A and B are shown apart, each in its own frame.
Chain A
Amino acid sequence: MDRRATFSNLWLAGALVAPQILLVIVFFYWPTVQALYWAFSTQPPFGGTNQWVGWQNFQQIFSDAVYWNSVQVSIVFAILSTALSIGMALLLALMIDRQLAGHKAYRFVYFWPYAIAAPAVGLAFRFIFAPDAGFVSAINQLAPNLWNPALKGWDAMLLIVIANSWKMMAYNFIFFLAALQSIPRGLIEAAAMDGSGVLRRARDIQIPLLAPTLFFLLVINITESFVDSFGIVDITTGGGPARATDLMVFKIYSDGFKGLDYSMAAAQSIVLMFLVIGLTFVQFRYIEKRVHYA
């Protein structure tokens, strides 16, 4: 028996899926094809149509030390902010799951950061971490310029990592909490009867059972930190100081729209795309095998 609904009317079926297909074409495939076209061509300096240049754009970016710096910065950023946001979210979700006093209010509030647009997050953190006037300026009382993201590369990196993690933490938190609440209460109780304390239970029972969620969030967070971190960087550090926070996605923007070199920007975005595809592939191929789906 065919349990699917089948349409013999192809025109109707076509008409029904057309809006969706149109959306995908206009907003996904068209720009991708455009980017590919830009990446393999270059504009004559004094006008005229694009000229086909083959791999020249790619050769140029791969031989550029500034570009490799950007790759390195992006990887550091991805690792740090994924670790921080997943770690914090897990901790908060484990606490909320224990249903301590006031957990309902916290559960509600912890999701809010995700609803805030990245530039707004950036702005808020720029104020908070301003070395002269922000809350954090207090530590500069201890020693001048102990904290100064405008001058120190690592401070700037830390600033965007914290801002990005703060936002992603909210998203991760919801997934962790949902996964924790789907673990049968009886398992936790059985572990408690077996003599296991709160931390031990988290380590032996809850976190192993969260493995599928953890894996999913790992993929999402790494991808997000590569492709979706523009807003925060643009508002807080602008890629500086001395390109210490010049993430790949930010460099694409500044080369393309500030430097007006569309071809180089397009080539970089193709590289970024394949990097993300590659990372996701590796994660599915090698990490998923270690994940136990209960």
Chain B
Amino acid sequence: MAEIAIRNVEKSYGKTAVLHGVDLQIANGEFLVILGPSGCGKSTLLRMIAGLEGITQGEIAIDGRVVNALEPRERGCAMVFQNYALYPHMTVAENIGYALKVAGLPKAERDRRVAEIAQIVGLEAFLARRPSELSGGQRQRVAMGRAMIREPKVFLFDEPLSNLDAKLRVQMRLEIRRLHQRLQATSVFVTHDQIEAMSLADRIVVMNQGRIEQAGPPRLLYAEPATRFVAAFLGAPAMNLLPATMIAKNRARMTDGTEISLDPERFAAEIGQAVEIGIRPEDVMIVWPGSEGAHQVEVEFTEDMGSSRLIHTRLGATEFTVLQPTAQIEAEGALHITLPEDAIHLFDAGTGRRLAGKATLIGLRASAAA
């Protein structure tokens, strides 16, 4: 149990800066997911908490104690690595029990604890095997067991699920969540998979190019992305982003002439400002031809997902996807849609910052700020 404070932390390799001043508070028992594309510095940040990377500037404190100068073993963190990093010459039992052996616990005590952990992660039958004789999912469990046995204050996960196949990934995701509910240990989980992030996190931190774009509960980030980057990164299928220019307080025009009406009360955009209009595929309404405010889109192809259908279209010259929750309409040729004003997000085309947004989640925003 511990809280982590990351204060204005910077990291550079030679002259290349990879983290530009990251500030983050992680509460005791929180499950925090750091989400971002490869190369955004998320793993570096995690490794700095673990003590595997030096800290160029700023400080990291665990439980109020600044750990900048401490060795990994003195920080009370346990880590699950992306490629598991199991010791190939040791059995499962030796792998799990290695930390206790290093700590000098007597063998009987070690064996008891290993058996206990093996039972939690479901590996009792495999204790005598070597990692090379295990499947991917089993190796993952060994890695988790090895982290758990130390009863660490902090769990660090470095993309632990990315080497597993899709089905196993979903299963292990649930197990990690279950484990966290049981142990209630502070956890930091790094991933580039937004579904993993959404499903695991108490709070998500979206990183991009060494900076934090936005931090908050999954629901808030999804409903009110603070930047165009967050909007595009969270959600599958991704949010539609339409470049346009404001031509009136309540209208924006795309380059091909398509005009989209906006609620002037909700947006703080200037006339003439270059903007991007965002709308999630599931918020798009399919309407009858000739309905008020309808836009015609050209259907290119559809993807049937079983429970829903994804229709790839073009709105003027821009790619545009529509998610149809139930596959009732046969979409071919042209489709008529409207963009509900309360579902529209507006971003400044230059800075990428959110200009305004839905007002439905004020309660959630207030709780996140608290």
B72 touches A184 (CB 8 A): no
Chain B residues near A211 (CB, 8 Å)?
89
How far is A205 from B51 in the complex, measured between Cα atoms in Å? 19
List B contacts of A204 (CB < 8 A): 87, 98, 102
Q: Which residue on B lies nearest to A209, using beta carbons?
A: B89
Q: Which residues on the B side are within 8 Å of A75 (C-beta)? A: none
Count of interface residues, chain B, beta-carbon cutoff 8 Å: 24
A179 to chain B, nearest CB (A): 13
B86: chain A residues within 8 A (beta carbon)? 190
Total CB contacts across the A-B interface at under 8 A: 64
Asked if B338 is an interface residue, CB under 8 A from chain A, the answer is no
Residues of chain B within 8 A (CB-CB) of A192 are: 51-52, 71-73
- Nearest residue, chain A, Cβ from B52: A189
Question: What chain B residues lie within 8 Å of A189 (beta carbons)?
Answer: 50, 52, 72, 79, 81, 85
Determine the chain A residues whose CB is within 8 A of the CB of B71 once the complex forms.
Answer: 192, 197
Point out the residues of chain A lying under 8 angstroms from B99, CB to CB: 194-195
* CA–CA, A292 and B86, complex, Å: 15
B237 within 8 Å of A (CB atoms): no
Which residue on chain A has the smallest CB distance to residue B131? A294
Shortest beta-carbon distance from A28 to chain B in Å = 38
Q: Do residues A196 and B102 form an inter-chain contact, with CB atoms below 8 A? A: yes
Which residues of chain B from 84 to 98 have any CB-CB distance to chain A below 8 Å in the complex?
Answer: 85-89, 98
B128 to chain A, nearest CB (A): 15
Range of interface residues on A (Cβ < 8 Å) = 20 to 34
Are B89 and A186 within 8 A (Cβ)?
A: no
Name which residue of chain B comes closest to A188, CB basis.
B85
**Cβ of B6: which chain A residues have Cβ within 8 Å of it?**
none
* In the complex, chain B residues whose CB is within 8 Å of the CB of A190: 79, 81, 85-87, 146
Chain A contact residues, CB within 8 Å of chain B: 184, 186-187, 189-197, 200, 204-205, 208-209, 211, 292, 294
- 28 A-B contacts, Cβ less than 8 Å apart? A186-B82, A187-B85, A187-B87, A187-B88, A189-B50, A190-B79, A190-B86, A190-B87, A190-B146, A191-B98, A192-B51, A192-B71, A192-B72, A192-B73, A193-B50, A194-B98, A194-B146, A195-B99, A196-B98, A200-B102, A204-B87, A204-B102, A205-B87, A208-B89, A209-B88, A211-B89, A294-B89, A294-B132
Residues of B within 8 A of A (CB): 50-52, 71-73, 77-79, 81-83, 85-89, 98-99, 102-103, 132, 146, 150
